[in-house]
Amino acid sequence: MALKYKYNGKTKFIIVTGGVISGLGKGVAAASIGALLSSKMKVVPIKCDGYLNTDPGTMNPTEHGEVFVLDDGGECDMDFGHYERFLNVTAKKDWSLTMGRIFKMILEKERRGDYLGHTVQFIPHVTDLIKEQFYRIADQEKADVVLIEIGGTIGDLENQFYIEATRQLSHEVGNHNSVFVHLTYVPIPSGVNEQKSKPTQMSVRDLNRLGIYPEIVICRCEEYIKSHLKEKIGLFCNLPADHVISGVDVQHVYECPLVFDAEGISEILSKTLSIYAPPKLEQWSKLVEALKRNQVNPRKTLTVAICGKYLALEDSYASVIEAISHASAHLDLCTKIHWVDTEKIESGAISAETALKGVSAVIVPGGFGSRGIEGKIEIIRYVRENKIPFLGICYGMQLSVVEFARNVCGMKGAGTIEMESENNHVEFPVIDLLPSQKNIQEMGATMRLGGHDVIIKDSSRAAEIYGSLAIRERFRHRYEVNPKYVLQIEKGDISGAKSQKLFFSGKAANEEIMQIMELSEHPYFMACQFHPELKSSLIHPAPLFFGLLKAADEKK
């Protein structure tokens, strides 16, 4: 059966694989390579994951890291955060391939009779479908370069079809139109104090057995790879020594494109693929230098508390951490993260006052479920009353409304219906399900997802922060501020005493969905239903994060 999409004869393909162990940073490496080319070429990233989920949307963040939401509503692997931040692209959900999606498409084609009665097999049918996705995206996006990252490690059973598909692709498009880059590990064993190349040699040998011979090997190590070891690795991997690149550990991932450029990747790609795309890294380099400088000799150090329950894996809040770094670079600040487990506050093991001692700013990020919820509400009460700069995101905004309703508006039984159970009735459901969510049964990809327009009220702090009355941000939620209580909450203190006022300063463009709230009589108390961290980048920090750190800087 002929492929529906074939090679367009123009696009170059860079395929990034990994070996030895997972977690080496293939996503950052792939994004860094793309960053070196993106100043002159359109680089489109594709991520290939072996798991059978059709997307990571229903996965626990402590298992797989955060879910990165795209403008078109796609729920993707967190590596898409690196792609967007490094490549300055707006990614699409079709650029995320999982083996679950591939198998689903295969079965749908078989049911439709697309295979004309032939026996459906892994090869050629699965591999052909994978190649079709590569060619289709390259053609539809008019991409100069397609950057393909294959998740996991060489040898993982679930990734073999991606490996075989890229091998076939390389044969079809020709060596001058494709390059394999292999990321591997060079350990320095304790007590030996010597870089060891054997894991890299074994990993490349496994790749060779699958018919793939990488043109570039990036060696992740805590030190730069010594010249004699580059020669040794090159000899065993059939490569010139200068095609063995140091993937040295860095303080900030944004240093990686600068390291790769200095190691010569730009020149190698230019010669191998016959492309001319000299990187433009001047502004990038200045901001990286600011980040590094403030680690050593900071103008000022701020401690930012992130208060949540997914603390077993910091990648659960990866984009929040990155957004803090982006704002820090522009404000010439050193920021340190202080993790607060809200379950411990809920249980009474620690007080909010103790947990936030010495903290300059507080963030309550997104989340789901009732676990740790009362601890978050207590954190919000403390920062509101003690005027600590605060940013609530998604669930953080909803719980800010709950806290205000309880402690200022006199609605002691206020809550979110997400807390409701047989043993817990919510007297004032100030947070309710979105109307569009009330009859939904399936969990995957059914939330209010992706980019939506937000209208901001004039003369509000939000308008000042954004410098605009119309913005577009990304959402991932099922619940909203209950419209029945909006006026009552904005009215405020039932006693009539002078106090802080809650003000909904942003709402959906075509619906009465509250999107931004802020408090008066507070140095910085902002909360939003969207996830501003998803659009933040080193060059363009998220305005709400920038405002948070600026307020903390001025207050301290």
Residue 131: predicted pLDDT = 96
Q: What percent of the chain has pLDDT over 70?
A: 94
CA separation for the pair 186, 430 (Å, rounded): 54
One fold for both 12-280 and 297-555?
Answer: yes
- The residues, any chain, with a CB within 8 Å of residue 265's CB and separated by 6 or more, are 33, 36, 216, 245
Rounded to the nearest 5 percent, the helix, strand and coil shares of the chain are 45, 20, 35
- pLDDT tens for 289-330 read 999 988 888 889 999 999 987 665 566 788 999 999 999 999
Residue 60: predicted pLDDT = 67
Interior CA angle at 315 toward 314 and 317, to 5°? Answer: 80
Mean pLDDT of the chain: 91
Q: What is the pTM of this model?
A: 0.91
- pLDDT tens for 445-480 read 578 889 999 999 999 999 999 999 999 999 998 889
| 409 catalytically annotated | no
* Domain range summary for the chain, segments of one domain joined by +: 12-280, 297-555
Q: What percent of the chain has pLDDT over 90?
A: 72
Under CATH, what is the fold of the domain 297-555?
Rossmann fold (3.40.50)
Residue 313: predicted pLDDT = 55
384-391: average pLDDT: 96
- Which entry of 75, 164, 215, 533 is annotated as an active-site residue? 533
| 378 catalytically annotated | no
- Which entry of 76, 221, 394, 409 is annotated as an active-site residue? 394
- pLDDT tens for 53-73 read 887 777 766 666 788 999 999
**How does DSSP assign 507-521, residue by residue?**
EESSS--EEEEEESS
| 531 catalytically annotated | yes
Q: Which CATH number fits domain 12-280: 3.60.15.10, 2.40.10.220, 1.25.40.80, 3.40.50.300?
A: 3.40.50.300
Residue 392: predicted pLDDT = 97
Side by side, the strands of the sheet bearing 12-18 are 96-98, 43-49, 145-150, 12-18, 178-185, 216-221, 244-248
**How does DSSP assign 188-248, residue by residue?**
--TTT-S---HHHHHHHHHHHHTT---SEEEEEESSPPPHHHHHHHHHHTT--GGGEEEEE
CA-wise closest residue to 291 among 337, 333, 247, 336 = 333
pLDDT at 278 over 70: yes
